[in-house]
Structure 1
Amino acid sequence: MRAYFEPGADLYVGSRDCLLAAARVLAAARTAGVPVIHTRVSHSRDGIDGGLFYRKAPPLRHLNGPLGEVMPEVTPAANEIVIVKQYASAFFGTTLASTLTALRVDTLVITGVSTSGCVRASAVDAVQHGFVPIVVRQAVGDRSPAPHAASLYDIQAKYGEVWEEHAVLERLSAPAAEGPRTP
């Protein structure tokens, strides 16, 4: 969302590097023909559907306007699912788990922002729903290096895998004859 890449915005991550890496991973996933699911945040006008999260994080108020626009580099294709969420996790209060199960998906490749918020929450919920979360180190970002690094450490230590971008791109480009694309 533009809020993370617009200089001066409250959520600005300070660089477009993770966005460009996410775009490369997205392109590889599309080429490989694996299901792609996007998420976006949207709240009612008064934010009541975001509860305490909405009250605690004032920058969320800007996501229903221009700062909530999806960045062109990762715009969903017409055939890709977009999950609308109100909280940090892509799973909480959404149909994501049942959609993944229906698609027979067992492993997620996670990109996005922020590492300490939505990425970490989604990785934790993924493993709790029985999916293997793989977070792409170069394709995630945060406003500050310390929570970014701590979150990647925690994800690798307890909840899933943190892979380098090149390893994810190699796996996505591997011929189907090499077997399943799971770690």
Structure 2
Amino acid sequence: MTELDDDYAGAGFGRPLDWGEKPAVLLIDMVRAYFEPDAELYMGNRDCLDSAARVVSAARAAGVPVIYTRVVYGPGGIDGGLFFKKVGALRHFVSGSGSDLGEIMPDVAPEAGDLVITKQYASAFFGTTLTATLAANRIDTLVICGVSTSGCVRATAVDAISNGYVPIVVRQGVGDRDPRPHEANLFDIAAKYGEVWDEPAVTERLAR
């Protein structure tokens, strides 16, 4: 452990949370905007997409539900509020704009029966039906992949634990524009809001 790890552990952070009885995999905003090299929001790599695809495959083999999110705005971003104003690149997700950047990547494309939730803000919970869906299906654990680590992934993990769900963030299955916010937010999530597991451990646990 590093000195920072020791400091946080000594303050009582980072106590482990175990998986519940019924997990679901949540793929956050795995859309073309972040993986197409010419796109304004392009992150520069696709490693997290490849990892997420393997997690989805393991989930399907185990009969674990897979839930997706994508961002969609009404005309002019009318339902995006100050978030839409703050982040100019969100204009690519306006419905009817003619852009395909909001489409989910084919590597992790939904199958028949998968739920795709549309959202307007960072968290997959805010203003969506996710909480009610999880409760109705007795899901208690969310295995989280997606982008970005410092944005929608972190916001979703915080809201997950706030609503009584165990967030399991897949280290290799999430990504960001730069390793600095990526690593800082993984550290913070593990310390305060959930668990950060490596992909092989996640796929092994899903197989149970």
Task: Flag whether TM exceeds 0.5 (same fold).
Answer: yes
SS in structure 1 opposite 2:79? helix
**Which letter does structure 2 place at the counterpart of 1:21?**
S
SS across alignment from 1:66: coil
Aligned residues: 174
Task: Tell me which of 119, 132, 139 is aligned to 1:98.
Answer: 132
**Displacement, 1:8?**
3.1
Aligned residues with identical type, % of pairs:
68
The 5-angstrom pairing of residues 152-171 of structure 1 reads: 152-171=186-205
Equivalence for 1:146: 180
Q: Which residue of 2 aligns with 1:37?
A: 67
How far the C-alpha of 1:48 sits from its partner, in A, is 1.6
Please tell me the residue identity of whatever aligns with 2:32: R
* Residue in 1 that maps onto 2:154: 120
The runs of at least 4 consecutive aligned structure 1 residues that moved more than 4 Å come to none
Alignment correspondent of 2:26: none
Q: Is 2:42 the partner of 1:12? A: yes
* Structure 2 residue ranges without an equivalent (≥5): 1-30
Q: Which runs of 5+ in 1 are unaligned?
A: 175-183
Provide, for residues 135-166 of structure 1, a one-character-per-residue CA deviation record: whole Å limited to 9, x for no partner: 00000000111111111011000000000000
Aligned to 1:81: 115
Aligned to 1:60: 90
Q: 1:108 and 1:161 mapped to 2: Cα distance?
A: 10
Q: Secondary structure of the equivalent of 1:109?
A: strand
In 1, Cα distance between equivalents of 2:204 and 2:105 = 25
TM-score, with normalisation over the residues of structure 1?
Answer: 0.93
Higher helix residue share: 1
Instruction: Report which of the two structures shows the higher radius of gyration computed on alpha carbons.
Output: 2
Partner deviation per Cα, 1:57-111 (whole Å, 9 max, x = no partner):
0111112421111100111111101111000000000010110011101100000
Q: Which has the higher contact order (CA 8 A, sep 6+)?
A: 2
The AA in structure 2 aligned to 1:150 is: A
